[in-house]
Structure 1
């Protein structure tokens, strides 16, 4: 447990089904390490249940917490402006207690304001696919769905969900994986979060590792925006950059250099024509606010009135343009304009980036998770396929063979077009 927490560089740890009736600082230090100097614990009943939430006080602050029958709730503060509530749950296995468990979560949500995240073993399923057998309580599954809808909770996108093989049914079944649900305002405040399942070597459950702020460093690439052709000056920029280069003998090289020049020209044109939309909106809103304050003490001049109207039109246009860009980046084509907010498209786009990220590589029995380890493993693999560069001890003196030369200039000319009707 301690090595798992150290490798994950975790600052907050939630342990479910601890089976400990008494939890003190000595137990926390032996399980998690000396840096976890604060904790809240729900004692177990005999050898069943038990929840522990421990944190590093130098990273997170907990101004308030509460302990209920099936959950532990802590109010987390990570720096300035990053404050949210975390509830760690361990749901009952008895169906008669599950309604009480859901009512307890409803009361917790009513007591806490702001972003809320709830994680743990709910012992409830949302769909029949989450059950390993055919004994499905449809009534309880419907209650859990209604609870998620009423609380406006959404399950976080889980990366690295693990499967095992069942010998009885001869088909893959899902391992026991705890779940992480969060409200929309929590997702908006943590657009770069990453949720992944770790190894189940220490338990029959797969531990969950949540990183609230993950940055994916990628080299910037050229992205053509679908709204560019509708802006004035777009066709002139494309025509000017396309015809700015002399033709090349090789048609493929000619096409490559023209596309490259056009991409650079469009990038410069976009910075000059569109620019930073957020900065323009902030500047326009600030000027409108100044005009509104001036209207309280004096009437605006004709020039100021005209500028205020133009700024309002500018804000509406920039807001529409910003939403169009977010919709295009999310690659959602099944929604019509006006059916979702800009925040929805941004969250969807961040989830797509997390799915495209490579988190581990495996070669034989070895497995790499760090960036340096994955680069080394990929390099060794392709070196084994392509071979490594070695210093040759002998070379060929081709001039001594007196071979006849071949004129390859004709190969650079483009192929003639076929006649009509021929193949």
Structure 2
């Protein structure tokens, strides 16, 4: 069970005094009655912000699973991602298994806007495959094309690095907010970073 329950489990799930203790007690009673296990969140305390200069931070999102799941997959954990436009912190649930998983190639639409895109496609498609069977021939051509586009994209621009750097700064400022109020300049800087991230992602 994953989601925004809009409830806290303890007073420490809020960075400022307050909170309905009765609701916390009832929420914990339900969790206990269902016999579910909370998945640990690594790296952050709070997952929601009102995005003010002196922010209210709360833990409202929760991740639960069954005891049998944790027995079979004890390496399951939750890690925070970068808060981009939402007031909730997105998270990634990771399940460690021994099953081998190949690397996934994701085609980026912005590549088609590049002046040399069609030249790269033509080059990749025209590479020899040495396959006589029609099915294997077309499959090999797509593999060649994927390999060529992947290599070209790696040397094309620093877009992915720029996105990663902006996300890293936003994560740092988010963690900083858990320990103290950010200054006015830091708050403005964070707002500019959020706008920059949206632009880069677009």
Do they superpose with TM above 0.5?
no
**Between structures 1 and 2, the one with greater helix share:** 2
Report the TM-score when normalising by structure 1: 0.21
Q: Between Structure 1 and Structure 2, which shows a larger proportion of strand residues?
A: 1
| TM-score (norm. length: structure 2) | 0.41
Select the structure of larger CA radius of gyration.
Answer: 1
